[in-house]
Structure 1
Amino acid sequence: MSTADRPGLTDRLVDEAARILVESGPAGLSLRRLATACGVSTMPVYTLFGDKQGLLAAMHREGFRRLGAALEQVAVTGDPLADLTALGAAYRAAALASPHLYALMFGHMAPDFSPGEQGRAAADATYQPLVDAVARCQRAGVLRGDDPQRIALHLWAVAHGMVNLELNRQLPPLGDPADLFREALGYAGAPFLTAPA
């Protein structure tokens, strides 16, 4: 088996590349430096990614693949509002598990990088479960309104903001970050509830 076929190598390279990107910026990330950091020759790195743009694209897609996998683990139950909250918790958990990739997925870590059509499709696919969960709450009469997109955007903005504050160590010392996240989601959803929680 070649080095490029070793199980887990791609994940290891992607995670290390994301770490280098965050710590050294785009100019500090190169396929050669990545190979050295992971203790492999440059051949498998170039074979897997081609060039730096290919590496960034792979990192972007992998980040959204991991996020999508986390969201897929959220079970659909008889309580659509609890399911919606569980999606938020899964989003936070995915971000905390891959913080360096999250910085590339939703930030400007690499200004010259454009995710392209495939990358945008990967991102859109991870947003749709939130829209679907909001729509399910509306059909169940738990949330009011007829446009799940607008409510989903509002909820995502709060979740994303809280996650960014936590990852950047900017949350005020008001308690456990997980509790603060749940509380923020509760406040974000409150205006849309059909009845007081």
Structure 2
Amino acid sequence: MASVNEELTTRLVDEAARILTEQGPAGLSLRKLAAAAGVSTMPVYTLFGDKHGLLAAMHREGFRRLGSALARAPRSGDALADVIALGVAYREAALAGPHLYGLLFGRMMPFYAPSAEGLAAEQAAYQPLVDGVTRCVEAGIFTGAGPGRIALHLWAVAHGMVNLELNGQLPPLGTPEELFLEALGYAGAPFLGVAP
């Protein structure tokens, strides 16, 4: 069960991401966040210290949520199906928290540089994909490149499709889920040696 501080932190991080997306960097301050969340400034300053502390918390929490979603993806005896499940989990995590996802992978705060802890959170969130691709390479399902390069290729396609969907820019060629799965299939095809 989450503590009161954890619940408040989660609520404030989500609200801060919404403010950042809607109002841009100039619209985000700890005072504005407190007012928007309906709390006094004291707990906001206690939790985050300053704006940089808030951004660091948002960054860590966003990657923690993404990593948790990928860690919950099914793992079976079918390594390729598991990589597809990771892609689906990635998309679902982005759609569940589009404001926070925009902070993680957008340039809304170009002056913010994550700490070593934040970079570790990024790597931890990405590792399940590398691990899944490694299983496919070891099973002979993927060939022609190392796991790191294949994982990067698959992530780039998944990320691009998610961004198009979140920005309402997907062409009307099918449902967003169908288009996402089709794109993943085409992304993996060069490494399978067979068209999807």
TM-score (norm 2): 0.95
Q: Could you list the per-position Cα deviations for residues 109-141 of structure 1 after superposition, in whole angstroms to 9, with x for gaps in the alignment?
A: 112111121111100111111111111001111
Question: Shift of residue 30 of structure 1?
Answer: 0.4
Give aligned pairs, total: 194
Matches within 5 A, 1:39-118: 39-118=38-117
Letter in 2 for 1:175: G
- Give the superposed CA RMSD: 1.4
The 3 A distance-change label for structure 1 pair 147 and 6 is: closer
TM-score (norm 1): 0.95
User: Which stretches in structure 2 are left out of the alignment for 5+ residues?
Assistant: none
Residue 27 of structure 1: aligned partner: 26
Distance 1:22 1:12 in 2: 16
Q: Please list every run of at least 4 consecutive aligned residues from structure 1 whose deviation after the TM superposition is greater than 4 angstroms.
A: 194-197
Matches within 5 A, 1:139-150: 139-150=138-149
Question: Shift of residue 5 of structure 1?
Answer: 3.8
Distance 1:104 1:137 in 2: 31
Matches within 5 A, 1:175-194: 175-194=174-193
Distance 2:141 2:111 in 1: 43
User: Which stretches in structure 1 are left out of the alignment for 5+ residues?
Assistant: none
Distance 2:69 2:153 in 1: 21
